């Protein structure tokens, strides 16, 4: 964490000249320009020994502290770069831009988060934050001060997104990412608890969850898909890719494209979900028995069976994180395009890669499989996640059955 350009340096430092009563020292972000210094708090205190360990430690508590300090550093650096690029940098203008440790605008904090995610190679999350920021700037401009984000402001923001044609699910995604930024601002002291607009109180804003329709197929419908032919190789290939997603425990496409032959051990595919590998303390490996149909799909569409080869020819291993994300997105769209056509031809409705995962879970549930097994197979962190995941399908089934009662 060190920035140096145009005579400006930015770096985190431990301030041993101002010890706290508990013997800890505050960690600050120092900005140096023309031999003058400015310091911005991170809200973190450490011992001298912990500071020395910080860059390389694997201790969970210190890793969390390091991430928080990195976040503060990125906020200050983003403000510095923005002012330097405009030709108006000075320590006074920087102080006007920053309050405490955090930026005084939502925009600057978003840009800092985007830069942090880019550096970490988390391209998917980076693109989501970037998309949310663009929506915010369409609504409220390039300098949205933190204190203007109130309950009434959030309601107007939701109405704006709704008028743009966004679904409630998408609106909730936008608002959750904004809430994450405001959580960081509150942690850094840029807004007070009383100014924080989200929560469960009567004067707080509650993000409304979307009612996204999760289509879960029956075994009969999956059989129809598996046997569907229209005479073209493209349809057969993407149908088989979709079927493999379903048979491979409803694997996400991001994990599917990274499967290699070395991941097949004793007739089982072993993988860790990309979505949860950074957020769970223990590495949850998912194991899937390779069925005859899965092996037939590999034999038909896969790469030559060499240990280091990807099983399927989507990635070549030379991509950086951004290029890998783009290839995965294009591949997902190609599957969804073909599966939509198959769904319409069979009278099932729109089918997507998500449908494969939803269907895997509900087929097992309807067959009486233990929920703990379903949870483990999906790679969920706990049973509650799986119960919530399946609840929407159960309601859908109840509604369908209730409608059957009146078909007389």
Span 204-228, average pLDDT: 82
Mean pLDDT (the chain, rounded): 85
User: pTM of the entire structure?
Assistant: 0.61
Span 320-349, average pLDDT: 92
pLDDT for the residue 154? 94
pLDDT class for 136, splitting at 50, 70, 90?
very high
At 108-121, the pLDDT tens digits run 889 888 888 887 78
Q: Kindly provide the b/e burial profile for residues 200-234, where b requires at least 16 CB atoms within 10 angstroms of the residue's own CB.
A: eeeeebebeeeeeebbbbeeebbebbeebeeeeee
pLDDT for the residue 102? 45
Residue 123 pLDDT > 80: yes
pLDDT for the residue 100? 44
Residue 160 pLDDT > 90: yes
Domain ranges of the chain: 1-103, 121-212, 219-404
At 257-282, the pLDDT tens digits run 999 999 999 999 998 888 766 655 56
Span 195-218, average pLDDT: 80
At 10-47, the pLDDT tens digits run 999 998 888 888 889 999 899 999 888 888 888 888 89
Structural contact between residues 72 and 188, judged by C-beta atoms closer than 8 angstroms: yes
pLDDT for the residue 249? 87
pLDDT class for 233, splitting at 50, 70, 90?
very high
- Please give the CATH topology (third level) of the domain spanning 219-404: hpI Integrase; Chain A (1.10.443)
Structural contact between residues 33 and 53, judged by C-beta atoms closer than 8 angstroms: no
Sheet holding 285-289, edge to edge: 264-265, 268-272, 285-289
At 357-377, the pLDDT tens digits run 888 888 888 777 777 777 777
- What is the three-state SS of 193-241? HHHCCECCCCCCECCCCCCCCCCCCCHHHHHHHHCCCCCCHHHHHHHHH
Structural contact between residues 216 and 130, judged by C-beta atoms closer than 8 angstroms: no
At 285-298, the pLDDT tens digits run 888 889 999 999 99
pLDDT for the residue 211? 58
* Most confident range, picked from 184-193, 231-240, 269-278: 231-240
CA 110, CA 179: separation in Å to the nearest integer?
Answer: 11
At 305-332, the pLDDT tens digits run 999 999 999 999 998 888 898 999 999 9
Burial class (CB in 10 A: 0-12, 13-18, 19+), 108: buried
- Bridge partners, residue 152, by sequence: none
> How much of the chain, in percent, has pLDDT values that exceed 70?
88
Q: State whether the Cα torsion 273-277-278-279 is positive or negative.
A: positive
Q: Which residue has the higher pLDDT, 279 or 385?
A: 385
Residue 396 pLDDT > 70: no
The C-alpha R_g of the chain, in whole angstroms, comes to 25
Residue 81 pLDDT > 90: no
pLDDT for the residue 101? 43
386-390 long-range contacts, Cβ below 8 Å, gap at least 24? 386/361, 389/361, 390/361, 390/362, 390/365
Burial class (CB in 10 A: 0-12, 13-18, 19+), 127: middle
What is the torsion angle, in degrees rounded to the nearest 10, for the CA atoms of residue 250, residue 252, residue 258 and residue 263? -30
Q: What's the DSSP call for residue 347?
A: T
């Amino acid at each position: 964490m060190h920035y140096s350009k145009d005579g400006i340096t930015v770096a985190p430092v431990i301030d041993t000249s101002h010890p706290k009563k508990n013997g800890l020292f505050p960690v600050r972000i120092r900005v140096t320009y023309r031999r003058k210094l400015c310091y911005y708090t991170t809200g973190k205190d450490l011992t001298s020994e912990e500071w020395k360990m910080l860059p390389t430690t694997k201790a969970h508590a210190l890793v969390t502290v390091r991430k928080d300090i990195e976040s503060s550093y990125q906020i200050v650096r983003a403000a510095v770069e923005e002012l330097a690029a405009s030709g108006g940098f000075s320590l006074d203008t920087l102080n006007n831009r920053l309050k405490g440790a955090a930026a005084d605008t939502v925009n600057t904090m978003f840009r800092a988060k985007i830069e942090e995610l880019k550096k970490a190679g988390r391209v998917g999350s980076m693109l989501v934050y970037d998309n949310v920021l663009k929506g915010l700037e369409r609504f409220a401009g390039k300098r949205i001060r933190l204190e203007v984000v109130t309950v009434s402001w959030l309601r107007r923001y939701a109405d704006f997104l709704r008028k743009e044609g966004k679904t409630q699910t998408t609106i909730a995604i936008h608002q959750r990412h904004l809430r994450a930024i405001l959580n960081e601002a509150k942690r850094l002291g840029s807004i007070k608890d009383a100014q924080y607009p989200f929560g469960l109180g009567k004067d707080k804003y509650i993000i409304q969850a979307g009612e996204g329709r999760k289509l879960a197929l029956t075994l009969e419908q999956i059989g129809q898909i598996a046997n569907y032919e229209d005479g073209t190789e493209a349809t057969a290939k993407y149908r088989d890719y979709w079927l493999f997603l379903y048979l491979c425990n409803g694997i996400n496409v991001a994990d599917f494209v990274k499967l290699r032959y070395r991941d097949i051990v004793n007739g089982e595919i072993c993988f860790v979900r990309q979505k949860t590998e950074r957020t769970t303390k223990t590495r949850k490996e998912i194991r899937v028995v390779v069925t005859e149909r899965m092996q037939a799909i590999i034999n038909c569409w896969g790469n030559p069976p060499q240990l280091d080869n990807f099983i399927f020819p989507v990635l070549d291993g030379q991509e950086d994180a951004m290029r890998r994300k783009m290839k995965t997105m294009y591949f997902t769209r190609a599957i969804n395009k073909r599966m939509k056509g198959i769904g319409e031809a069979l009278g099932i409705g729109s089918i997507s890669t998500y449908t494969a995962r939803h269907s895997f879970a509900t087929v097992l549930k309807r067959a009486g499989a233990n929920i703990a097994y379903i949870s483990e197979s999906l790679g969920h962190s706990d049973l509650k996640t799986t119960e919530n995941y399946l609840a929407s399908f159960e309601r859908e089934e109840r509604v369908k059955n209730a409608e059957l009662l009146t078909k007389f």
